Amino acid sequence: MILSAATAPRYIGRFAPSPTGPLHLGSLYTALASFLDARQHQGLWLLRIDDLDKPRNAPGAADAIQHCLERFGLHWDGTVFFESRHRRDYHAHLHQLLQHQQLYACRCSRKQLEGHAVYPGFCRKQNWQITADTTLRVKTCEQTLSFHDRLQGLIENHLGSEHGDFIVRRRDRIIAYQLAVVVNDHLQAVNHVVRGIDLLPSTIKQLYLYQQLNYPPPIYMHVPVIVDATGAKLSKQTLAAPVDTQKPETTVFTLLQLLGQNPAPDLRGAPVAEQLAWGVAHWHPDALLDHKTLPTPAALAVTNDRGNLSTTALPR
């Protein structure tokens, strides 16, 4: 079926940070890319707080993230979706998968799995009883799945040998990211996902769940991530510094540069709203194709708690 503009569903995108700490430059970069893409498509841009993994949540981070986005003019549509308020939905989906015999209990210890990059299926035929605190894995199959990424092109993975039976509920009863993200995007009717390329390896797993649940998957675009001097993605683990919310004009300009958008020099220092309006009007994601990762710009030299993170110059 060919969709005309009148029948095509409205673009619904989202930004879904985990509240493990305040936003750092890398997360703001992704937020901006997804915002510009959604707004250029006259779409909705939703905010979701991925707060299911309670032990990793940092106190105050969800509020700090919202405050930061507001400071940078990244205003979202509707109310914020908190994962932790949707536990019933994840359980309903688990139940559905269980009923269709797509899950099994796994009792493997970490030690047993040492040296196995892909789960070797030890518990698949064991028929362990499922209790509230057993790890649940989804049965995958010998199937090659592929999708077209708007930036990365055709991505093809063999499910069995490259991913194996993956976890959908952890031993600590927490719903795993792979299932939660699929349920969330379905509940929010998200049809466009713009996120960091570090999540690309997860996408095939998520597509498999879409298949099993019989839901249409979104269209994906995986964008580069900003890395530190050691080549590691900026993250809380690498102790990336929170973005400075004092001078949003400077940061937005630099981010537009990092996104390869070539902002006009006279935009430097302009009010954030003006820079964003320019960014939306001129958004061309193909400019991101040159990079898989980007060094942290010296202009926003990031130091960490150890104070010893060196940075690489802004790419020209």
Footprint on this chain of ligand GLU (rule: CB under 6 A): 16-18, 50, 181, 195, 199
Determine how many CB atoms are found less than 10 A away from the CB of residue 53.
19
CB of 105 to ligand GLU, least distance (A): 26
Q: Between residues 61 and 106, which has the closer beta carbon with respect to ligand GLU? A: 61
CB of 194 to ligand GLU, least distance (A): 9
Q: Between residues 50 and 165, which has the closer beta carbon with respect to ligand GLU? A: 50
Q: Between residues 135 and 188, which has the closer beta carbon with respect to ligand GLU? A: 188
Residues 59-69: b if buried by 16+ CB within 10 A, e if exposed: eebbebbbebb
CB of 117 to ligand GLU, least distance (A): 21
Q: Between residues 138 and 179, which has the closer beta carbon with respect to ligand GLU? A: 179
Half-sphere exposure of 276 (CA within 13 A, CB side): 23
Q: Between residues 123 and 223, which has the closer beta carbon with respect to ligand GLU? A: 223
Residue nearest to ligand GLU (CB): 50
Q: Which amino acid is at 124?
A: R
CB of 18 to ligand GLU, least distance (A): 4
Torsion of CA 192, 284, 316, 240, to 10 degrees: -20
Residues 203, 58, 114, CA angle at the centre, nearest 5°?
50
Half-sphere exposure of 199 (CA within 13 A, CB side): 19
CB of 243 to ligand GLU, least distance (A): 15
Contact yes or no for 47/76 (Cβ under 8 A): yes
Distance of CA 84 to the CA centre of its chain: 17
Contact yes or no for 75/43 (Cβ under 8 A): no
Q: Between residues 123 and 255, which has the closer beta carbon with respect to ligand GLU? A: 255
Return the residue matching tokens 């060919």: 2
CB of 193 to ligand GLU, least distance (A): 6
CB of 16 to ligand GLU, least distance (A): 4
CB of 219 to ligand GLU, least distance (A): 14
Name the residue among 177, 157, 158, 159 with its Cα closest to residue 167.
Answer: 177
Measure the CA–CA gap between 259 and 228, rounded to whole angstroms. 17
Q: What are the φ/ψ torsions at residue 223 (nearest 5 degrees)? A: -100, 160
Q: Between residues 17 and 297, which has the closer beta carbon with respect to ligand GLU? A: 17
Q: Between residues 17 and 248, which has the closer beta carbon with respect to ligand GLU? A: 17
* Strand stretches in the chain, DSSP E: 12-15, 44-49, 81-82, 103-106, 135-138, 144-149, 153-158, 167-169, 192-196, 219-223, 225-227, 293-295
